[in-house]
A and B are shown apart, each in its own frame.
Chain A
Amino acid sequence: MAQTTASTQEKPARRDPAQLAKLFLRYAVLILLTVVFIAPLLWMLSTSLKPLPQTTQFPPSWIPQEFSVQGYSTILTTSSQTPVPRWFVNSLVAATAHAALVLVTASMAAYALARMNFRGKNILFAGIIATLFVPQFVFLMPNYLIVDYFGWLDTLLAVIVPGAAGAFGVFFLRQFFLSLPKELEEAALIDGANRYQIFFRIILPLSRAPLATLAVLSFLVNWNDFLWPVYVLFSPQNLTLPPGLSILNESYNVKYNVIMAGGVIASIPVLLLYLFAQRYIIEGVSRSGLKG
């Protein structure tokens, strides 16, 4: 660890044996860590492709001795108690709608807070930011009753809408809008554009990267959300994947090829998203840290 701090400052060195040994050691550690983080995920994939008897066999085979789609066919054939395809569609609809709702509401509010003057703006902004520090669980009971009041219990609306009230998106986009040069908007105003035109034609097109980051993060959070859907969704056909997986886990008890197939199906969309939008995800996360 201590050596690494020093070496960040060195130019790529010539290959003397000591340097080579150091380099080798570093890569050994890095590769070992990669195995630690990735092997369990590969095991999930591998198990999902095994026939049932093989899932409990020792010594374990990382590559199935005999491939089987039994796990997948079990959950894909519609079962009334564990309709995994239905959960998949529900999750996809909920996460997409949630991300869209966050983008629209947060970008508009963030723009007003970044660029417009109106009465009570500072107090409002302080109030919104303060809620970032209120732990989510205090909203559990009242929001359950509010969602019930709207008749949204056991519907996807319950998992799409309330989460969009979170302040993160507003805070995140406001920071970005503040960093945009004002001259652009002032020039547009003088050319006779109004606020709405400026927002849609200048601000939003300039904000593709932060909007993509927010969309991807909102999608991920919603796709993975567990606590809230466990309690507000009940009917098997109305569940999203996370509460569904928990039920799948119980109803297929030790049929691990079936359970792992469910895990793989729930992981594929987010891993694909991660593969293609990694930059947005990691930068979104690291930028949220720099605010601290």
Chain B
Amino acid sequence: MSTQGIEQPHVQQPPGRKLPGSRRKPTDASPLAPYIFMAPYLVLFLIFIVIPGVFGIWISLHNWDYLLPGKPWVGLENYTNLFSSNSTTGGPFWNSMEATGKFTLYSVPLLVVIPLLVALILNQKIRGIQFFRAMYFAPYVLGVAVIGILWRYLLDPNIGLVNYYLGAKIPWITALPWAWVSLVGVTVWWTLGFNTVIYLAGLQDIDPALYDAAKVDGANSWQQFLNVTLPGLRPILLFVVTVTILASANVFGQPYIITQGAPGDETTVAIMYIAETGLRQFNMGAASAMSYVLALALILVSIVNFVVFRNRGD
């Protein structure tokens, strides 16, 4: 194959591409190579992304009980059930969507603003910045299971450290609004480092000359922040907001371990309800339909988010 590449440099080139004097593209050396290189990944991609993407819709159109032999076609019933008031799945599903919505609404602003403040503090020429950055990021490398069991202990109303140091008897896990305060607080503590690192990279990309120019114009620190830092961070802000919304909407582990959906089913978030419906009660058709409704909601939110940022960007 190696000699082939040298001996027939122009033969395999499509006529339209053959510009005079242009060099033969190295890829033409072995025509099968691209497919061989792509094959292993494509097999995975097909089996675990493309096929399930289509198969999931198919499942959602059936009364698909994993444990039963018959899986009758029900058309859009799994979807219409979600929107009809007298079905068994509709109510709890929208409750869980509301729970996910609340969690997202409470946690996203905090996770957009606080990491920016931390990044601004870190983005200074003083000693030990690498160390501090590493410390703030540390909780993020731990999994949600570790975070969950740790905070369940810390938030215990009787023996937890949080109430001890506050000198309070707050029912962090079992009552409102504390359950939300706990879940949002833990999530901010856990994932703040991720957004901070992204902001820091963005801050370091802003041209220092812009600050110098602003200073020459007599801008104070706050004006510099408004007129240089924020505009320079706009693409990063869009990224952080989008990623944080998506991550928040995917919330599962924190309520699964810390509050277990309580009080009542107040913190039973959408993915918890979908997974329990589909993979514990094996009502997979309904669960699939729900997952597509949630996905659609997320797509809509992402579009709104994108448009908002774009309009501000002129």
Q: Could you tell me if B225 and A5 are in contact, using CB atoms closer than 8 angstroms?
A: yes
Give the CA-CA distance A56 to B292 in the complex, in Å. Answer: 45
Does B308 have its Cβ within 8 Å of any Cβ on chain A? no
Does B148 have its Cβ within 8 Å of any Cβ on chain A? yes
Give the CA-CA distance A183 to B225 in the complex, in Å. Answer: 43
Q: Which residues of A from 219 to 240 have beta carbons under 8 Å from B?
A: 220, 223-227, 230-231
Give the CA-CA distance A146 to B54 in the complex, in Å. Answer: 12
Q: Could you tell me if A194 and B1 are in contact, using CB atoms closer than 8 angstroms?
A: yes
Give the CA-CA distance A56 to B159 in the complex, in Å. Answer: 5
Does B33 have its Cβ within 8 Å of any Cβ on chain A? yes
Which of A33, A223, A288 is close to B136, meaning CB atoms less than 8 Å apart? A33
Q: Could you tell me if B134 and A104 are in contact, using CB atoms closer than 8 angstroms?
A: no
Q: Could you tell me if A290 and B28 are in contact, using CB atoms closer than 8 angstroms?
A: no
A-B contacts at CB below 8 angstroms, number: 350
Q: Could you tell me if A266 and B211 are in contact, using CB atoms closer than 8 angstroms?
A: no
- B250 surroundings in chain A (CB, below 8 A): 135-137
Stretch at the interface among A68-76, A78-86, A204-212, A277-285: A277-285
Q: How far is the CB of A109 from chain B (nearest CB, A)?
A: 4
Q: Which residues of A from 179 to 223 have beta carbons under 8 Å from B?
A: 182, 185-186, 189-190, 192-199, 220, 223
- A259 surroundings in chain B (CB, below 8 A): 149, 153
Q: Could you tell me if B152 and A186 are in contact, using CB atoms closer than 8 angstroms?
A: no
Q: Which residues of A from 260 to 275 have beta carbons under 8 Å from B?
A: 260, 262-263, 266-267, 270-271, 273-274
> Which range holds the interface residue count of chain B?
35 or more
Q: Could you tell me if B51 and A142 are in contact, using CB atoms closer than 8 angstroms?
A: yes
Give the CA-CA distance A227 to B289 in the complex, in Å. Answer: 19
Give the CA-CA distance A288 to B191 in the complex, in Å. Answer: 15
- A243 surroundings in chain B (CB, below 8 A): 145
- A248 surroundings in chain B (CB, below 8 A): 149
Q: How far is the CB of A223 from chain B (nearest CB, A)?
A: 7
Stretch at the interface among B79-87, B89-97, B176-184, B193-201: B193-201
Give the CA-CA distance A185 to B25 in the complex, in Å. Answer: 10
Q: Could you tell me if A37 and B37 are in contact, using CB atoms closer than 8 angstroms?
A: no
Q: Which residues of B from 1 to 59 have beta carbons under 8 Å from A?
A: 1-3, 5-6, 23, 25-30, 33-35, 37-38, 40-42, 44-45, 47-49, 51-53, 55-56, 59
Does B284 have its Cβ within 8 Å of any Cβ on chain A? yes
Q: How far is the CB of A206 from chain B (nearest CB, A)?
A: 16
Give the CA-CA distance A163 to B68 in the complex, in Å. Answer: 28
Q: Please name the residue on chain B nearest to A271 by beta carbon.
A: B141
Q: Mark A112-123, 1 if CB is under 8 A from B, else 0.
A: 110111100100
Give the CA-CA distance A88 to B40 in the complex, in Å. Answer: 29
Q: Could you tell me if B33 and A105 are in contact, using CB atoms closer than 8 angstroms?
A: no
Q: Could you tell me if B143 and A226 are in contact, using CB atoms closer than 8 angstroms?
A: yes
Does B123 have its Cβ within 8 Å of any Cβ on chain A? yes
- B211 surroundings in chain A (CB, below 8 A): 5-6, 8-9
Does A29 have its Cβ within 8 Å of any Cβ on chain B? yes
Q: Could you tell me if B121 and A4 are in contact, using CB atoms closer than 8 angstroms?
A: yes
- B278 surroundings in chain A (CB, below 8 A): 140-141, 144
Q: How far is the CB of B51 from chain A (nearest CB, A)?
A: 7
The 7 closest A-B pairs by CB, nearest first: A292-B239, A224-B143, A289-B198, A142-B52, A286-B201, A109-B41, A2-B221
24 A-B residue pairs with CB within 8 Å:
A2-B222, A3-B221, A5-B225, A8-B123, A30-B128, A41-B139, A108-B38, A109-B37, A116-B27, A117-B27, A118-B34, A138-B291, A139-B56, A141-B56, A141-B279, A186-B26, A189-B5, A224-B142, A226-B145, A231-B280, A242-B145, A243-B145, A249-B152, A260-B153
20 more A-B contacts (CB under 8 A) besides A224-B143, A267-B146? A8-B208, A37-B189, A56-B159, A60-B164, A109-B40, A115-B27, A117-B27, A137-B275, A137-B291, A138-B56, A138-B295, A166-B49, A186-B23, A190-B6, A193-B2, A224-B145, A263-B146, A286-B198, A289-B197, A289-B240
Chain A residues close to B by CB (< 8 Å): 1-10, 12, 23, 26-27, 29-30, 33-34, 36-38, 40-41, 43-44, 47, 55-56, 58-60, 104-106, 108-109, 111-113, 115-118, 121, 124, 128, 131, 133-146, 161-162, 164-167, 170, 182, 185-186, 189-190, 192-199, 220, 223-227, 230-231, 241-243, 245-246, 248-249, 254, 256, 259-260, 262-263, 266-267, 270-271, 273-274, 278, 281-282, 285-292
